[in-house]
């Protein structure tokens, strides 16, 4: 990359991460109704209109945004992105993951029965299982932590991918082929025992696209060539197509969300949110990893009744965010104090 500034600054990416983590909360609250107990039904904003469910379905784009921004950030880095740098990034990510893994295991073992009602272990207690969890091998502690393994493997391969990035169309074709292979592996259940290779092959797509968008200055060229009106029309068309697919072709929703991720990232980076709400959303974006790691325990496993106690959908969303931050804030202070030592 040359010395000119990238279209998305660090502040912009933090703001978009803040929006993405809110979309993730919406996704887990309203987009997966089979995981919510029937007595925890909520009161919608518009009676008779499943607006929350639609937004929850769209909220899955949060994963795409996080990976897109990760690839974008690596490609805009001024210094060399080599294997040493990649492993440094992985270790920084792992330190946060290990801390919350240790907290979850400690709380689970101390405060909850060892066995589930069906007889299976609630938390692993043998050393081999704990080591596998720490290395993100095999089944994660909770399903929502599947992203750990995928992210680590993508960052580990980033130096090699960056070497191919100058030939953008070739890398894009390889990425598309990998996506198709991962989709086939997922459908046929062909993953190795300890590595969800299908996840890596599927979710490398937004990561690679983010890298290519930054390397080839796609956003900068788009901002210079396209009129604001045409971009707004494109964004509205993308949302209309999302509604159509939600009605007639739900199975293609994940590929579609991956496809429109650059447009969503560009629209958010161009919007007033990055200027007028950047401080609050940016702070939330910087807290997005611990919020992601903690909120599933409240939303699904330990406190679902408490989360849905406000009943009204917007209040439920706000309450989940407050509960999560109340837990994350002191734990983050403790984690950082430990790192300083």
Task: Find the mean pLDDT for residues 276-301.
Answer: 89
State how far the Cα of 207 lies from the Cα of 195, in Å rounded to an integer. 19
278 falls in which pLDDT band (50, 70, 90)? low
Q: What pLDDT does residue 272 have?
A: 57
- pLDDT at residue 19 tops 70: yes
- pLDDT at residue 122 tops 80: no
Q: Which has the minimum average pLDDT: 76-80, 81-85, 177-181, 217-221? A: 76-80
Q: What pLDDT does residue 1 have?
A: 44
pLDDT higher for 89 or 341? Answer: 89
- pLDDT at residue 2 tops 50: no
Helix axes 197-215, 168-188, angle to 10 degrees: 160
Contacts of 14 (CB under 8 A, 6+ apart): 278, 281, 282, 283, 285, 286
Q: What pLDDT does residue 117 have?
A: 58
pLDDT higher for 66 or 339? Answer: 66
Q: What pLDDT does residue 153 have?
A: 97
Round the average pLDDT of the chain to a whole number and report it. 90
DSSP string, 170-228: HHHHHHHHHHHHHHHHHHHT---SS--HHHHHHHHHHHHHHHHHHHTTHHHHHHHHS-H
Task: Find the mean pLDDT for residues 38-42.
Answer: 91
Structure tokens at 109: 């073992």
Q: What pLDDT does residue 246 have?
A: 80
With beta carbons less than 8 A apart as the criterion, state whether 210 and 17 touch: no
Q: What pLDDT does residue 190 have?
A: 92
314 falls in which pLDDT band (50, 70, 90)? very high
Percentage of the chain with pLDDT > 90?
Answer: 71
Q: What pLDDT does residue 118 have?
A: 60
pLDDT tens-digit series, residues 148-178: 999 999 999 999 999 999 999 999 999 999 9
Q: What pLDDT does residue 115 have?
A: 63
Q: What pLDDT does residue 71 have?
A: 96
């Amino acid at each position: 990359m040359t010395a000119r500034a990238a279209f998305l600054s660090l502040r912009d990416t933090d703001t978009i991460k803040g929006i993405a983590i809110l979309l993730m909360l919406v996704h887990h609250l309203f987009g997966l109704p089979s995981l919510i107990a029937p007595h925890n039904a909520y009161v919608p904003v518009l009676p008779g209109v499943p607006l929350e469910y639609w937004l929850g379905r769209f909220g899955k784009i949060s994963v795409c945004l996080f990976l897109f921004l990760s690839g974008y950030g690596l490609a805009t880095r001024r210094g060399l992105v080599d294997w040493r740098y990649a492993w440094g990034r992985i270790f920084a990510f792992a330190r946060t993951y290990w801390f919350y893994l240790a907290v979850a295991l400690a709380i689970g073992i101390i405060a909850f029965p060892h066995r589930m009602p069906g007889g299976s272990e609630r938390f692993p207690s043998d050393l081999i299982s704990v080591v596998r969890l720490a290395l993100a091998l095999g089944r994660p502690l909770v399903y929502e932590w599947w992203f750990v393994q995928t992210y680590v493997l993508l960052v580990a391969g980033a130096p090699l991918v960056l070497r191919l990035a100058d030939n953008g169309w070739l890398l894009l074709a390889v990425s598309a082929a990998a996506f198709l292979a991962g989709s086939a592996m997922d459908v046929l259940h062909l993953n190795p025992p300890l590595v969800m290779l299908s996840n890596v092959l599927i979710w490398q797509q937004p990561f690679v696209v983010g890298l290519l968008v930054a390397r080839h200055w796609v956003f900068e060229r788009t901002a210079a060539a396209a009129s604001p009106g045409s971009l707004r029309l494109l964004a509205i068309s993308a949302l209309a197509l999302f509604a159509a697919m939600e009605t007639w072709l739900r199975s293609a929703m994940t590929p579609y969300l991956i496809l429109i991720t650059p447009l969503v990232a560009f629209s958010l980076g161009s919007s007033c949110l990055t200027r007028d709400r950047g401080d609050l959303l940016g702070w939330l974006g910087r807290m997005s990893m611990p919020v992601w790691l903690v909120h599933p325990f409240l939303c699904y496993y330990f406190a679902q009744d408490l989360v849905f106690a406000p009943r009204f959908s917007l209040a439920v969303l706000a309450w989940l965010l407050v509960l999560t931050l109340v837990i994350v804030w002191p734990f983050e202070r403790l984690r950082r104090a430990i790192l300083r030592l």
